[in-house]
Amino acid sequence: MLAVWQTAVQYHAWHALALLSVGVAGFHLEGIWIRAAGWLFFAGVVLFSGSLYALALGAPRALGAVTPAGGAMFVLGWIAFATGVIYARTPG
């Protein structure tokens, strides 16, 4: 269970940095893709890391079925962020 906790912390940390990057990009770029990336990263942290934290703390193993959905949110978040940077408009 320590390895599960470590995985949750690692992905949580990396995607907290991704959320910070989205926030900084939001000051310089406009577009729905940047906002979508932020929400997808947030959902990924809640679903992926949250489910792993819960499993490590003794939640029912059935909760592990939520983890892949969180991983998918991470992937979609990165795609949305890249799309937002490529097709961004500067404010003003």
Mean confidence (pLDDT) of the chain? 94
pLDDT (tens digit per residue) in 15-26? 999 999 999 998
Instruction: List Cβ neighbours of 71 (8 Å cut-off, separation of 6 or more).
Output: 44, 48
The amino acid at residue 20 is L
22, 61, 63 from 57: Cα distances, Å: 30, 11, 12
| pLDDT value, residue 30 | 84
| pLDDT value, residue 73 | 98
Beta bridge partners of 30: 89
pLDDT (tens digit per residue) in 29-76? 888 999 999 999 999 999 999 999 999 999 999 999 999 999 999 999
